[in-house]
Amino acid sequence: MSLVEAPNPGSPRSGSRSMWLWGVVCGFLLLGALILGASSLGPSAPRGDLRPAPAVAQDASASSRDPSASRRTAIVAAAQRVGPSVVTISVVSTRTVQSSPFSNEFFDPFFRDMIPSYRYREQIPSMGSGFIISSKGYVLTNEHVVHGAEKITVILADGRSFTGKVLGSHPQYDVAIVKIEGDRLPVAPLGTSNDLLIGEWAIAIGNPFGFLLNDTQPTVTAGVISATRRDIKAGSAGEGIYKNMIQTDAAINPGNSGGPLVNANGDVIGVNTFIFTKSGGSEGIGFAIPIDAVKRVVDELIRYGRVRNVWIGVGTWDITPYLAERLGTKDRNGLYVASVEKGSPADKAGAKVGDIIRRVNGTSIGDVNEAYRALFGANVGDTITLTVERDGKTSTLKLTLEELQE
């Protein structure tokens, strides 16, 4: 009988197999523990850094969800600040018209003396803009908007309508004050025009083409300050004298005259007055009267109902070729002092007959019109300078202007 050797459980082969099985089991247990631990921690910050996430991220996401925050620009804020005070000024004036049954180039020479012409009066409606500058009911506008008005109606942005009356006006300054009676009147904030920057925002608010738009809300156009201190040649823009004007490319159209020009802070910096145009529409060259110059005129109009005329007290001649020859000078620029009124500001300052005024307030003058423009804007109580030539020597005289007594 053969015998087979049975395996010995204590042999090396049996021990290695048991250890391998035990290692596999322990590995699975360790892997499970790691997985359970990771899931319980979640996506937290690294250990030792338990600070909350910054709130800026929440604010940024909130801003992205609210697009109206980015739509409220400086122009929007300025329009909302000034817009309620901007008014429509409806004017009715009357003109006399002369007509003839044969009023044409062919018949008129033959029948002019045989058939008399007839005249009739017709009412002419017009419209412009303005803005309220006082809760007392003072409305600022251009003089040419209310010139010759027989009836004035002031319409507010909220739809209210008032009868207006011209309190005072001045055609050379092209400024007028219309008075209305009302309560809860919105007032435009007046700024300054002395520190304007070329290129800064300029916002024109008014009521262009008011007859075509059945709406009392004003129109807003935006541009920039194109230039400052623009002097417009005499006769280029009507009867007014326009000095130190603000130029802007903000669209100004018929009906905008008298409305405010506003900066990005929502302060009025000028009064929109006229444009240069070939087509009749806006071409980006508009002009506004600086608000600081307007304030001085407004103060005179409200206090006195007029702008008081200033008194200098000199009579002058233009320097003609004949007078220049008699004076022995080749320089024909300036004014010859022909007379000095006793007790006048010029007399008190030391002006003499025979003086030649070469400059007024530092501006060279060629004739009396240029001297008038150099004095434009000076009020009673202001001090001006005259640079005069006397006996070949130049000196400067300082005059304090007084009111011209009628």
Helix (H, G, I), strand (E, B) or coil at 31: helix
Q: What are the residues whose beta carbons fall under 8 Å from the beta carbon of 319, sequence distance 6 or more?
A: 327, 329, 331, 332, 333, 334, 335, 336, 356
Residue 274, judged by CB atoms within 10 A of its CB (0-12, 13-18, 19+), counts as: buried
Is 147 among the catalytic positions? no
DSSP-assigned states of every residue in 247-316 = EE-S---TT-TTPEEE-TTS-EEEEEEEE--SSSS--S-EEEEEHHHHHHHHHHHHHHSSPPPEE--EEE
Of the residues 129, 144, 226, 355, which is catalytic? 144
| Terminal alpha carbon distance of the chain | 164
Q: What are the tokens at 317? A: 């001649």
* Opening angle at CA 259, ends 212 and 162, nearest 5: 70
Residues in the chain: 406
Of the residues 85, 126, 174, 193, which is catalytic? 174
Of the residues 169, 193, 257, 282, which is catalytic? 257
Q: What are the residues whose beta carbons fall under 8 Å from the beta carbon of 239, sequence distance 6 or more?
A: 144, 171, 172, 174
Question: Letter for the amino acid at 189?
Answer: P
Is 144 among the catalytic positions? yes
Is 236 among the catalytic positions? no
DSSP-assigned states of every residue in 167-204 = EEEETTTTEEEEE---SS---PPB--STT--TTSEEEE
Give the residue numbers marked as catalytic: 144, 174, 257
